[in-house]
Structure 1
Amino acid sequence: MTARILVVDDEPDLEVLIVQKFRRQIRDGAVIFLFASDGVDALSVIDGNSDIDMVLCDINMPRMDGLSLLEKLQQAEGQQLSTVIVSAYGDMANIRTAMNRGAFDFITKPIDFADLETTIAKTLKHREVLHEAHRRQAVAERAHASLSRYFSPNLAERLAGDADGLALAGQWREVASLFTDITSFTTLVETIDPATLGALLNDYLAGMTDVVFAHEGTVAKIVGDALHVLFGAPGEQQDHAARAVACALELDALSQSFRDSWRDKGVAVGTTRIGVHAGPALVGNFGGGRFFDYTAYGDTINIAARLESANKQLGTRICVSGSAAARVDGFRGRPVGDLILRGRAEALRAFEPLSSKQYDDPSTASYLEAFGRLEAGDANAVTAFAAQIGKCPDDQLASFHLKRLLNGAKGTRISLD
């Protein structure tokens, strides 16, 4: 690559000397020298040659001196020239001023051409390093902008800034896993036209992922309308469970608002069900080296998915495991029961998380009283749940328990298909 160097000096013999001393490098195409007699001429040359790499500039010149030229170059937008100042050995005050104005180096008069050659080589090497740094920054910024369209900001930032980021495989981490799914979405797909479906799905997923990103979650996978979200990966989050529960509540509120807005357009969208569980999981990029597939595996992930599915039988919209709830300071919610999930023999305590407003509502206290009777084996639990439904006819979870009790079930242990 040919280096282009602008020499700014009012000594008429300097151009001849430089061409003579660097004749081999000029002949080999390693360097091209341009010349200007003062700062005014230099600015004109720079305007007509955007590919200049370096400026070798005297300080004392007519019309515009070297210090003024340096100031102009500093003020120019997008100008990234490396400048070497030439001055008399005793003129240290001006040399110091030049360095403060952005000069990279200086040489003294009379010019030692061996020193000049070394200084030029060092300056051009410095410029190469700067070019590479700017190139890497530009690549990272483009990568981050592209990745942010598909991945959560924390994952996109890590991948864009880390050349080895795609090898994020095989790490056991403590995470919170969150699953969402729209009830009867397959039926909806079969009953509306593709254009409406596309607008609906894009609107829904944009809103849901915005909520996830606001809580600094990572969208591990989107399949149709369903989302799998991770907290605590790829970056560690000590409060991953609290983030997941808060995110679940906000996702629920958004999905309810979304259903209302599309119902007004004549489209009946099903309820969004959400499951949350916290525990260890194997996380990383499992795309086989050819595809990027940042996801998670393990019992924690399976339980979260089954809790999401359990909402259908329980009548709830959000189901959070006791493991996740225990990790949230001041968790507020209603106990669902001790669930025997499909494929598991051990019971898992589950909760329906509530907002502060919901938790403080008197209906929550009456539900907790009824559940306490159920947990204690009190026969009056039936009456308590019936009273709860009388006050809150839309309380699906209370209805679920009342039906169980009326069908002869006892206690809080619940087997789910």
Structure 2
Amino acid sequence: MHDPPRILAVDDTPENLEILRMRLEANGYEVVTAADGEEGLGKARDLTPDLILLDIMMPKLDGISAVRMLKQDLSLRSIPVILVTAKADTRDVVEGLDAGGDDYLTKPFEHQALLARVRSMLRQKALHDTVASQAVQLSDWNRSLEQTLAEQVIEIERMGRLRRFLPEQVADLILAAGNGDTLLQSHRREVTVVFCDLRGFTAFAETAEPEEVMAVLGEYHACLGEQIVRYEGTLERFVGDGIVVVFNDPLPCADHTERAVRMAAAMRDAIDEHSEQWRKRDHLLGFGIGIARGHATIGRIGFDQRADYAVIGTVSNHAARLCEEARPRQILVSQRVVGAVESLVESVAVGELTLKGFRRPMPAYEIVRWIGRPS
């Protein structure tokens, strides 16, 4: 709706147009006039009035033909039309209403009747405009909702990928930064890798019932998972009873080796409680850990339907081989690891170990306990 409402008056009699113009303008309406049906159609298309007063009997294009053409035009059909006719032309009124007219007014104009019909038609136009505006807004909302839902689906997929590897708080931080996919692309970085598994698990799995094996694995994974989340490690993979945790990727942290060693010590203490319960169930299971520090190539590997986060390099193998050598409750670490945390731990040199896949013996150390920084 225009403000003030715009009314188009179409009549081939100048006196009638003048009467309409004066009465309507006196009541605050904007009035535009046309002398015949063709001119009226043109001005309707150009000016999009809020209401049309249309005389039926006109040269060139009569009012009934004009209203029919107005209602066939999608851009004009919502404009209400009041047909103007003489009292005796009831057949014209019926035909005009059938053609699409919304109301009629007889000549000579009765002032109050004219204003009442104009107000009534303008209320209808305002209601139509409100509904049309709401429909457009609803359509925009639907498009926005569809886009939002699509973005949320993508975000959920990204969250799912990240939370397969990362503690929830780390995954949330990466997603909030908006660079989760970038951080999982292949790159090179120095990391600390923790490899841990159960001593005696193979023999246990060969003799125990499958349900019991899965129950023990569930308890074991839940126990260690709490510590991985607590120290904000990145879970690289499960390998049966083996678990690989990475620190300093995808989010860098300056104290990554400290975190790794502290987590390993906490894991050992947490597993002690389970070990006692397992012994009562006649499951002889120990727990060993190996930790190494070094550079690796890191990123997502796999294909469209299945992808994993992987740490590729000798540092992973080093941690795995140290874990193989570890006795129950023993934490074996590389020389670079002990060098990074020497003042924070009680450690013992265990000598040089011949590790599978390494050409020369590698020095190793046992972390007896975590001391921490002096207060």
Q: Is TM-score (shorter-chain normalized) higher than 0.5?
A: yes
Task: Give, in angstroms, the shift of residue 258 of structure 1.
Answer: 1.2
Tell me which amino acid in the other structure corresponds to 1:322: Q
Partner of 1:168: 184
Partner of 2:201: 185
Task: Give, in angstroms, the shift of residue 125 of structure 1.
Answer: 6.4
Partner of 1:222: 238
C-alpha distance in 2, partners of 1:242/1:189? 34
Is the contact between residue 273 and residue 317 of structure 1 (CA under 8 Å) also seen in structure 2? yes
Is the contact between residue 155 and residue 234 of structure 1 (CA under 8 Å) also seen in structure 2? no
Give 1:203's match in structure 2, choosing from 199, 211, 219.
Answer: 219
Tell me which amino acid in the other structure corresponds to 2:295: P
Partner of 1:291: 306
Tell me which amino acid in the other structure corresponds to 2:302: G
Secondary structure of 1:238's partner? coil
C-alpha distance in 2, partners of 1:321/1:268? 30
Partner of 1:317: 330
Task: Give, in angstroms, the shift of residue 343 of structure 1.
Answer: 2.8
Give 1:341's match in structure 2, choosing from 327, 338, 355.
Answer: 355
Secondary structure of 1:169's partner? coil
Task: Give, in angstroms, the shift of residue 139 of structure 1.
Answer: 6.7
Task: Give, in angstroms, the shift of residue 236 of structure 1.
Answer: 0.5
Partner of 1:271: 286
Task: Give, in angstroms, the shift of residue 349 of structure 1.
Answer: 2.3
Is the contact between residue 262 and residue 268 of structure 1 (CA under 8 Å) also seen in structure 2? yes
Cα distance change, pair 126–317 in 1 and its aligned pair in 2 (3 A):
same
Cα distance change, pair 346–138 in 1 and its aligned pair in 2 (3 A):
same
Is the contact between residue 316 and residue 352 of structure 1 (CA under 8 Å) also seen in structure 2? no
Is the contact between residue 336 and residue 350 of structure 1 (CA under 8 Å) also seen in structure 2? yes
C-alpha distance in 2, partners of 1:253/1:175? 24
Structure number having the greater strand percentage: 2
Task: Give, in angstroms, the shift of residue 168 of structure 1.
Answer: 1.6
Cα distance change, pair 28–212 in 1 and its aligned pair in 2 (3 A):
closer
Task: Tell me which structure has the larger Cα radius of gyration.
Answer: 2
C-alpha distance in 1, partners of 2:165/2:154? 17
Partner of 1:119: none
Task: Give, in angstroms, the shift of residue 299 of structure 1.
Answer: 1.1
Task: Give, in angstroms, the shift of residue 346 of structure 1.
Answer: 3.5
Tell me which amino acid in the other structure corresponds to 1:274: I
Secondary structure of 2:344's partner? coil
Is the contact between residue 158 and residue 165 of structure 1 (CA under 8 Å) also seen in structure 2? no
Secondary structure of 1:263's partner? helix
Q: Which digits, 9 at most, give the CA deviation of each residue in 1:245-283, with x for residues without a partner?
A: 11111111122221111212x232321111000111111
C-alpha distance in 2, partners of 1:319/1:152? 25
Identity within the alignment, %: 26
Is the contact between residue 166 and residue 285 of structure 1 (CA under 8 Å) also seen in structure 2? no
Q: Which digits, 9 at most, give the CA deviation of each residue in 1:168-207, with x for residues without a partner?
A: 2321011100101111212111212222222211111011
Is the contact between residue 171 and residue 283 of structure 1 (CA under 8 Å) also seen in structure 2? yes
Give 1:304's match in structure 2, choosing from 309, 319, 328.
Answer: 319
Give 2:258's match in structure 1, choosing from 242, 245, 249.
Answer: 242
C-alpha distance in 1, partners of 2:265/2:187? 28
Q: Which digits, 9 at most, give the CA deviation of each residue in 1:209-251, with x for residues without a partner?
A: 1111111001110021110110111110111111111111111
Cα distance change, pair 19–220 in 1 and its aligned pair in 2 (3 A):
farther
Tell me which amino acid in the other structure corresponds to 2:276: D
Is the contact between residue 289 and residue 330 of structure 2 (CA under 8 Å) also seen in structure 1? yes
Residue correspondence of structure 1 range 10-159 to structure 2 within 5 A? 17=122, 20=125, 23=128, 30-31=135-136, 136=151, 140=155, 144=159, 148=163, 151-154=166-169, 156-157=171-172
Structure 1 position 253 matched with structure 2 position 279: no
Task: Give, in angstroms, the shift of residue 20 of structure 1.
Answer: 2.0
C-alpha distance in 1, partners of 2:182/2:305? 10
Query: Mind listing any 5+ residue stretches in structure 2 that lack a counterpart?
Result: 1-117
Task: Give, in angstroms, the shift of residue 288 of structure 1.
Answer: 2.8
Cα distance change, pair 15–259 in 1 and its aligned pair in 2 (3 A):
farther
Task: Give, in angstroms, the shift of residue 135 of structure 1.
Answer: 7.4
Secondary structure of 1:309's partner? helix
Cα distance change, pair 160–267 in 1 and its aligned pair in 2 (3 A):
farther
Cα distance change, pair 146–231 in 1 and its aligned pair in 2 (3 A):
closer
Query: Mind listing any 5+ residue stretches in structure 1 that lack a counterpart?
Result: 1-12, 34-123, 358-417
Is the contact between residue 25 and residue 31 of structure 1 (CA under 8 Å) also seen in structure 2? no
Is the contact between residue 165 and residue 234 of structure 2 (CA under 8 Å) also seen in structure 1? no
C-alpha distance in 2, partners of 1:241/1:279? 10
C-alpha distance in 2, partners of 1:18/1:142? 50
Cα distance change, pair 334–278 in 1 and its aligned pair in 2 (3 A):
same
Cα distance change, pair 19–244 in 1 and its aligned pair in 2 (3 A):
farther
